[in-house]
Amino acid sequence: YFCLFPYRKIERHWKVTCTRRGVFTVSHAVIVISDLFGTMELSQPFPAEAIITVLPAVRSMDEVSELPAQITGEMIRRRTLIPDRFAVCGIREYSAGDPVRDICWTASARAQQPMVWQYQETACPDMTVLLNTETRETDRDRVSDPAVYEDAIRLCAALLGTAVHLRIPVRFCANTALRGMPAETPFLSGSHALSRHLHLLAELPDTVAGRFSSLLDRIRSSGEAHAVFIVTAQPTAHIMQAASADPRITV
């Protein structure tokens, strides 16, 4: 209760604890006014259009035993386009066009001919988080175990947060649809990457829009050398076989 004096603005801020993730709308607000003695009370509704997005809670990463080696350090690529001068792999003979700064003078003196450093091409590792919305093998159109599904979303949020903290480009994919489009994000990194990922997780519906095996096969056939995290409550034989055959996959 508070009194509103003439020409005075009062702002009230409340801290609330959200019990579920999602996107919620506020359609109207009601203002209630009464006199000092409570003998008269007036209420007036006002239309409003506000959207409240509740991001998913982040699950503790202590429950994840270890992170794969693919997302730590740098990766060596087969095709040399831009050499990494911090990744020396040996010494070779001088070729026309090699810069003078690449000459190894010690090796040149021993070989009695110009020798240059040989570099490898490296690239930052990428990471993909795959969410299987099928909590049971019988799930077809809708998730049958919402509690397990929400726990999996929180684990995805933790994995995405860890990747962003390590400055690793990361993307998210799930076998569900959002507004008629696949629930996916592109590879993102930087300060705004986690916010975009979490907003997608907040909007995820509890529906199944396709078989997870098809999504996994599509990611594997892309040929991209990135680490793949699979978050699933139902580790099927197809998933375990893919993880055994592909060292990039962690279940």
Strands of 249-250's sheet in order across: 181-184, 170-178, 127-131, 227-231, 249-250
Q: In this predicted structure, what is the pLDDT of residue 62? A: 58
Cα angle value 98/76/166 (rounded, 5°): 120
Token pair in block for residue 156: 């995805």
> Are 208 and 176 in contact, with CB atoms under 8 Å apart?
yes
> Are 127 and 227 in contact, with CB atoms under 8 Å apart?
yes
Q: In this predicted structure, what is the pLDDT of residue 166? A: 82
Return per-residue pLDDT of the chain as tens, 251 residues. 555 566 667 777 888 888 888 888 888 888 888 777 777 788 888 887 888 888 888 766 555 545 555 555 555 444 445 566 666 777 888 888 788 888 888 888 888 888 888 876 655 678 889 999 988 888 888 888 889 999 999 999 988 888 888 888 889 999 998 888 889 998 888 778 888 999 999 999 888 888 888 888 888 887 666 788 899 888 888 888 888 888 888 88
Q: Is the pTM of this model over 0.85?
A: no
Q: In this predicted structure, what is the pLDDT of residue 86? A: 63
Closest CA to 55 of 82, 24, 85: 24
3 state DSSP class of 10: coil
Cα angle value 127/130/134 (rounded, 5°): 170
**Domain-wise residue ranges, the chain:** 61-74+124-250, 76-123
Question: What is the DSSP secondary-structure string of 190-210?
Answer: STTHHHHHHHHHHH--SB--S
Q: In this predicted structure, what is the pLDDT of residue 201? A: 92
Select from 3.30.310, 3.90.120, 1.10.390, 3.40.50 the CATH code of 61-74+124-250.
3.40.50
Give the separation between CA 223 and CA 209, rounded to whole angstroms: 24
Chain position carrying tokens 């829009």: 209
